[in-house]
A and B are shown apart, each in its own frame.
Chain A
Amino acid sequence: NAGVTQTPKFQVLKTGQSMTLQCAQDMNHEYMSWYRQDPGMGLRLIHYSVGAGITDQGEVPNGYNVSRSTTEDFPLRLLSAAPSQTSVYFCASSYQRGNNEQFFGPGTRLTVL
């Protein structure tokens, strides 16, 4: 099993550009989530999904979109990148609901200029 994979590992964007961060898992997990990690802030939940076709907002959803067309994939879209979105983004998955252990991907470091 590859576990949770994320691409790209690093990305630099200009303000206003859009892009998609990819996340995939091969553990047949129903629950997937996206976090951003900022110094001194810990991890904050952006969006999550409890299964294909179902998504919901977390703590900091503004400026981000998600969709879940398959169990395996959960892409995160930045609609119009802003410097405030400079962060490290982590995708995670868990079996069934979110109160199970989450398995984290290696992260994507995003810089918005």
Chain B
Amino acid sequence: AQSVTQPDIHITVSEGASLELRCNYSYGATPYLFWYVQSPGQGLQLLLKYFSGDTLVQGIKGFEAEFKRSQSSFNLRKPSVHWSDAAEYFCAVVTGNQFYFGTGTSLTVIP
């Protein structure tokens, strides 16, 4: 069965520091991978996606993610975090017609 693991439930970083959110997936074939962000009380917004090709993908708001097949990972990174990045982040894998989301990582940004 397909699954997505986000090992970090909560992360706190200082504004201006770099950020890496981890995501591991379990899927036999090449997956379609997504990162979404959810601000408090809001729906989910797509940050970036990977279908094939270049394993380093750029997204909105200065985020990027790297697909590593050997590690079954799709980690999200940002070189310098802004206070407005405080939110919940979800990794997802889709197979066929079904999305499988991770349990999310909550990001706190301290000034």
A-B complex is real: yes
Decide if B99 touches A102 in the complex (CB within 8 Å): yes
Contacts of B90 in A (CB 8 A): 42-43
- Assembled-state Cα–Cα distance A58/B2 (Å): 13
Contact partner, B103, options A33, A40, A92, Cβ 8 Å: A40
Number of residues from A at the complex interface, CB < 8 A: 26
Q: How many whole Å from B43's CB to the nearest CB in chain A?
A: 4
Grouping DSSP codes into helix (H, G, I), strand (E, B) and loop, the B interface class, with mixed when no group exceeds half, is strand
Q: How many whole Å from B106's CB to the nearest CB in chain A?
A: 10
Q: A42-B103, A101-B34, A101-B49 are known contacts. Are A107 and B43 too (CB-CB below 8 A)?
A: yes
Decide if A90 touches B43 in the complex (CB within 8 Å): yes
- Assembled-state Cα–Cα distance A97/B34 (Å): 15
Number of residues from B at the complex interface, CB < 8 A: 25
B32 on the interface (CB 8 Å rule)? yes
Contacts of A107 in B (CB 8 A): 41-43
Contacts of A106 in B (CB 8 A): 42-43
B98 on the interface (CB 8 Å rule)? yes
Q: How many whole Å from B34's CB to the nearest CB in chain A?
A: 7
Contacts of B45 in A (CB 8 A): 104
Decide if A98 touches B96 in the complex (CB within 8 Å): yes
B110 on the interface (CB 8 Å rule)? no
Contacts of B104 in A (CB 8 A): 42
Chain B residues numbered 80-111 whose CB sits less than 8 Å from any CB in chain A? 90, 94-104
Question: A-B pairs with the 10 shortest C-beta distances?
Answer: A104-B43, A98-B97, A42-B101, A42-B103, A43-B101, A104-B44, A99-B32, A99-B94, A106-B43, A101-B46
